Structure 1
């Protein structure tokens, strides 16, 4: 599904329903995923040529358009410069990059850290609120959530329900015995990441649109997003970065550069408690993987947020 010529046409089809209150997610629980799968042998989702020429096929294509062009087609729900496809590569198809075909069959699912059963729609709402820094997410029955859910369902339409497929999520990269090193992470970033994401993590733009996503600053994911966890970012980086050369970094390098990226400021956690970083750290971050929110690094309190 490489042809994006239909995307501008679909802009007029995307409805603008805004009615849902922000969801009170207790956290963004880490995915429990099987080991990394060789991309060539992972589950293969259907191709565009297999779509029926009917209302279902059209809705799948609308969901696809939203997925790869989220900022432009749903600007009222996106508060930064990101698209869904920035964290779920190859249009949500790529194994070991949290592909949609690996996620959809696992919902509804109980998530221990927020002690409730989450629907797939709620999971998408959380992505808008945190990873996309969108504030009020689309309603669960909105056109946006319905289209994205239909696209995910189609990608997973030949996958078994309730089974954790190899390649789902970002397969875990255990923390190195010596932990992470911010100084080493800065060197890895300079050598391997800055060419695409900029020396200051600012990303790259063509006109008003990012072609390479910002990794920190006002247009990146906020402090409530799952990617702010160093362990989650390290797993994504290890399997997918540098782009086109996933697996080329060592586990140590992946952890170091993930820590370096996530020691920089980004938009505030929308769950901020009483305006206090410390209260927010205790309630939402103290037991949420490895992260720097609310900690002091080089004399600076991390997590103050940026506008």
Structure 2
């Protein structure tokens, strides 16, 4: 069943307290597939589609910019070698063109930012949040703030948020990659076997992804073509949430909670390019970010079966020694004064 068709047919439907029958109809199929039903008080928003954009009462040039943002979001590889240095598109993680519930839909960023972000310990706006995805998930360096490409991506995010309230004071239905409850124990060996059985057909047994005739088809799950050690999805619970809710592609919720966590554990204990916040050593990164971001990842762990210490390397992937300009950039350092 096509989640996108069943959840996005109604444009700009937003409910804050309770759910109307019209909106419920669009989410009923999700519930039938096993997703949790929206709860009273949750914000339920159905983003507009690109087809809706054609009918929207917007300036023609704004429509062109939104289309450009959509194009960049779904084919970020066109920025390969300039801003992207791996095999990922934005839509590799944010499925359904960034609209799909339980696949980190991107419209919430447009209505909840600026806000404080623990990852870099300061208030971020929408452009800075997008820039972080380039630095970590794309293992790249972002377009400049205010540039044409950054403006286009921001415009696409905001278009998907059409009709949603700014700074909502209720939880957002389908936001992020909600993880199932973590089992008592996780198995690397079981995760490897499950990956080969369920994931390798698209992502290859070595995690390198799939290309056909030189064209990108499915992303790498680890290695130089994947996201680096600073990307959000290298955290085991985030990967487990993505896998449980979205994988295998076309078969969401088909894996048990234990299976999703074991696959995530196996995947996130494979090597990938270095965290761009690295300056001296793995221990230096852990001293700064171990209590926050990396307490949920395997960064710096010693792998059980071979004694390899994860991320103890100076491999930056295709990016080489390019340092993303936004990493380590402070904000409001003199605010207290």
TM-score normalised to the size of structure 1? 0.82
- The answer as to whether partners of 1:42 and 1:95 remain within 8 angstroms in 2 is no
Matched, 1:162 2:163: no
- 1:83-102 C-alpha deviation (Å, 9 max, x unpaired): 00000001101001111122
Worse-matched range after superposition: 104-113 or 234-243 = 104-113
Tell me the secondary structure at the aligned position of residue 110 of structure 1.
strand
Corresponding residue of 2:299: 293
Secondary structure in 2 matching 1:301: coil
Counterpart position of 1:62:
68
Q: Determine helix, strand or coil for the equivalent of 1:76.
A: coil
Q: Does 1:248 align with 2:254?
A: yes
Structure-2 residue corresponding to 1:44: 46
CA shift at 1:278, angstroms? 1.8
1:171 maps to 178
Instruction: Give the aligned partner of residue 238 of structure 1.
Output: 244
The reply on whether 1:269 has 2:275 as its aligned counterpart is yes
Does 1:116 find its partner at 2:122? Answer: yes
Alpha-carbon shift at residue 173 of structure 1 (Å): 2.2
Answer whether contact 2:84 2:139 (CA < 8 A) is retained: yes
- Structure 2 unmatched ranges of 5 or more: 5-34, 318-337
1:277/1:87 CA distance change after superposition, 3 Å: same
Write out aligned runs for 1:1-307 (5 A): 43-51=45-53, 52=56, 54-73=60-79, 75-134=81-140, 136-163=141-168, 164-176=171-183, 178-274=184-280, 276-288=281-293, 289-297=295-303, 298-305=306-313, 306=315, 307=317
TM-score by length of 2: 0.75
Contact 2:118 2:292 in 1 (8 A): no
| CA displacement at 1:157 relative to structure 2 | 0.9
Deviation per residue, 1:162-210 (Å, 9 max, x gap): 224201111132211x231111101110111111111111110023332
RMSD of Structure 2 on Structure 1 (CA): 2.0
Instruction: Give, in angstroms, the shift of residue 112 of structure 1.
Output: 3.8
Residues 73 and 299 of structure 1, relative CA distance in 2, 3 Å threshold: closer
- Displacement after TM superposition at 1:142 (Å): 1.1
Shift of 1:251: 1.3
Q: Distance in 2 between matches of 1:112 and 1:263?
A: 23
User: Structure 2: how far apart are the matches of 1:246 and 1:107?
Assistant: 29
CA-to-partner distance for each residue in 1:28-58, whole Å, 9 max, x for gaps? Answer: xxxxxxxx6559x953111223224601111
Q: Distance in 1 between matches of 2:284 and 2:262?
A: 27
Q: 1:181 to 1:128 in 2, by over 3 A?
A: same
- Secondary structure of the structure 1 residue equivalent to 2:216: strand
Aligned-partner Cα distance in 2 for 1:196–1:174: 26
CA contact (8 A) 2:301 2:310 kept: yes
1:3-36 Cα offsets, whole Å, 9 max, x none, are xxxxxxxxxxxxxxxxxxxxxxxxxxxxxxxxx6
**Number of aligned pairs?**
269
Compare relative contact order (CA 8 Å, sep 6+) and give the higher one, 1 or 2: 1
Unaligned ranges ≥5, structure 1: 3-35
Q: Do the aligned partners of 1:128 and 1:137 also contact (CA within 8 Å) in 2?
A: yes
Contact 1:103–1:169 (8 Å) recurs in 2? no
